[in-house]
Structure 1
Amino acid sequence: MRFMTVSQILKHLMFMEDIRVSELARRVNIPQQTLQRVVAGLSPNPHESTLKPLAAYFQITVEQLKGFQEIPGLAAAFDPDNSPWKELPLLDWDEAGKLKQLTPELLAEKKRILTEAKVGQNGFALQMQDSSMEPVYPAGTILIVDPTYPLSDRLYVIVRLRGESRAIIRWITTDGRDYYLKLLNPDLSNHLVKLTPEDEICGVVVQAKRDLV
């Protein structure tokens, strides 16, 4: 019986170690592209020559890394079917603006953010870099974004405006016919900007996480 896939196990182990694909590949002397494919699930049955140094690094057996033997504490904490927690890639704002173009290999390289929020397919995380949405979302806030969440009035959305490559965050409202975008910071412009068909909604913010101390 297979408890989890190699990809799932590696993602969880890397999350707990707070290590990225590039650094792990360097430490175990495996080509980064090879490891990216394994983590992304594009190579479901890796060679023993790939698995052995990874298992040694995480101090588990190859059979545990393959998912045929349980890793104490891991299966219970990260059962993909029963756990309320989900790992999401932490994207930068340029990547969020071209979400549909991101490859599994690139996503596998990204730092993971753990959330209990219900997020649809291709969910991701972002970090606020400025004060444009204060006081609701101060700089440093981690945003959990769901690209499948239905658009409605008075939500916070990640949007890529016409002619731009970088995504931004805005509050969205509607008059029943059209949608409008707005900043929150009273020190910045508070004008409503009409959403056009050329603008792309990349997702809806469903959770915000920040350090309180």
Structure 2
Amino acid sequence: MSLDNKKNRLIGSGKLELNVRKNIRYLMDEAGMIEAELARQTGIPQTTINRVLLGETLDPRATTLVSISKFFGVTVDQLIGHLPFNKNPIEGAYHPTNKVAWSMIPIVDWDIVRAWVFQREKFIPSSHNDWITTERGVSELSFALRTLPQMEPRFKKGSTIIVDPKQKYKDGNFVVVSCNGATPTVRKITLDGDDVYFSRLYSSDNPSLKQKMDEIIGTIVETRINES
């Protein structure tokens, strides 16, 4: 039976809208996700998601259902209530029924990076709307930053980096660092015995030795490239 036929049968019984709304809400709750993040991750307008969750869309577009089902690692049949959910989501997809495997991370501004590590409790779904998900094992202090123009071409314009303050840096890693209290920036780490050196992304200058007032805020553990 085609997707349209399944949808029409459920529409006729009045169950499609209820099933979709209930199942999407269930998946979002399991993931600890808000509408804004689901919209960002799937590319679906947030207004569309809001209408579906409010029951204002009796016949959601097939493209909407496909995008949401792929994101959550379920089938469209499961999303519309034609089949029950199972505990073995599609490989490579996000799987909210196994929340320990992925995390929600806030995307913060560069000027509050230093405060973030010490004010984690201020960033909760109800007060922060910009989040990113990762399946990488990261600490609760992790945060994300949008790359800056001066970070090109090593970090593509508009991309997002995920930073973990609890991840021990290694030789050759990129870190977010505040040098002598200045605005945080990205540096490459070079280790020489117990000494730590910082290298600018693009400079002929020799690496500089880490000073007492320099603060390594966190290690960059993942980069999300903006393909647009």
TM range (shorter): 0.5 to 0.7
Hey, what's the Cα distance between the residues in 2 that align with 1:104 and 1:80?
25
Quick check: 1:14 aligned with 2:31?
A: no
Task: Pick one of 129, 141, 147 that aligns with 1:122.
Answer: 141
- 2:161 aligns with 143
Query: TM-score, normalization: structure 1?
Result: 0.62
Q: What is the CA distance between 1:183 and its match in structure 2?
A: 1.2
Secondary structure of 1:154's aligned partner: coil
Hey, what's the Cα distance between the residues in 1 that align with 2:188 and 2:114?
17
Task: Pick one of 195, 203, 210 that aligns with 1:195.
Answer: 210
Cα deviations across residues 58-115 of structure 1 (Å, max 9, x unaligned)? 337xxxxxxxxxxx75997552644633221001111112223335334531401122
Query: Using a 3 Å threshold, how does the CA distance of structure 1 residues 143 and 158 change in structure 2: closer, same or farther?
Result: same
Conserved? CA contact 1:88–1:125, under 8 Å: yes
Conserved? CA contact 1:131–1:138, under 8 Å: no
Query: Using a 3 Å threshold, how does the CA distance of structure 1 residues 103 and 149 change in structure 2: closer, same or farther?
Result: closer
Conserved? CA contact 1:142–1:210, under 8 Å: yes
Hey, what's the Cα distance between the residues in 2 that align with 1:79 and 1:129?
31
In the TM superposition, 1:1-213 aligns within 5 A as 11-18=33-40, 58-59=53-54, 73=79, 78-79=95-96, 81-82=98-99, 84-108=101-125, 109-132=128-151, 134-164=152-182, 166-185=183-202, 188-213=203-228
Query: TM-score, normalization: structure 2?
Result: 0.58
Read off the aligned partner of 1:130 and give its amino acid letter.
P
**How many residue pairs are counted as aligned between the two chains?**
163
Q: What is the CA distance between 1:201 and its match in structure 2?
A: 1.2
Conserved? CA contact 2:176–2:217, under 8 Å: yes
Hey, what's the Cα distance between the residues in 1 that align with 2:226 and 2:174?
20
Q: What is the CA distance between 1:181 and its match in structure 2?
A: 0.6
Q: What is the CA distance between 1:205 and its match in structure 2?
A: 0.6
Query: Using a 3 Å threshold, how does the CA distance of structure 1 residues 193 and 158 change in structure 2: closer, same or farther?
Result: same
Q: What is the CA distance between 1:7 and its match in structure 2?
A: 7.3
Q: What is the CA distance between 1:135 and its match in structure 2?
A: 3.1
Cα deviations across residues 35-71 of structure 1 (Å, max 9, x unaligned)? xxxxxxxxxxxxxxxxxxxx998337xxxxxxxxxxx
- 1:31 aligns with none
CA RMSD of aligned residues (A): 3.5
Secondary structure of 1:140's aligned partner: coil
Hey, what's the Cα distance between the residues in 2 that align with 1:17 and 1:79?
16
> Which of structure 1's runs of 4+ aligned residues deviate more than 4 A?
6-10, 72-78
Conserved? CA contact 2:120–2:141, under 8 Å: no
Q: In percent, how many aligned pairs have the same letter?
A: 23
Mind listing any 5+ residue stretches in structure 1 that lack a counterpart?
Answer: 28-54, 61-71
Hey, what's the Cα distance between the residues in 1 that align with 2:97 and 2:178?
32
